[in-house]
């Protein structure tokens, strides 16, 4: 849209400028893409979660850690958040609604 430099592309550029200015305009779409049926789409969506620091999607990332095809990206993406993610990870790991076996999978010194 941004690259439509001809006069006829003015409307597309205008819409692009509006979208860029909207806070979290694409969040719902990213949530859909992170659950897509295509592996390549999920991988790219996971990367976007990391790049954009989408804290509300951390649980989605953690849910992919037990998928051998997605675990590398899912484990890398939270690292993109830096220290800002530590609290969210802690919340998830100590959440009593998450079964013990599931939580143990994410703990570094678990016996599971």
Residue ranges of domains in the chain: 1-33, 38-112
Q: 53 pLDDT exceeds 80? A: yes
Say what the pLDDT of residue 8 is: 87
Mean pLDDT of the chain: 81
In the predicted model, is pLDDT for residue 36 greater than 50? yes
Measured CA to CA, the distance from residue 3 to residue 16 in angstroms comes to: 10
Q: Is 77 left (phi over 0), alpha (psi -120 to 50) or beta?
A: alpha
Q: What pLDDT sits at residue 24? A: 75
pLDDT of residue 42: 93
Name which residue leads in pLDDT, 76 or 19. Answer: 76
């Amino acid at each position: 849209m941004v690259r439509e430099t001809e006069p006829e592309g003015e409307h597309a550029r205008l819409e692009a400028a509006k979208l860029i200015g909207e806070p979290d305009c694409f969040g719902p779409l990213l949530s859909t893409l992170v659950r897509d049926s295509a592996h390549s789409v999920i991988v790219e969506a996971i990367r976007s979660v990391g790049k954009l620091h989408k804290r509300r999607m951390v649980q989605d990332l953690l849910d992919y850690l037990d998928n051998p095809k997605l675990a590398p990206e899912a484990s890398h993406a939270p690292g993109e958040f830096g220290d800002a993610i530590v609290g969210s990870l802690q919340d998830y790991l100590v959440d009593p609604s998450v079964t013990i076996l599931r939580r143990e999978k994410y703990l570094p010194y678990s016996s599971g």
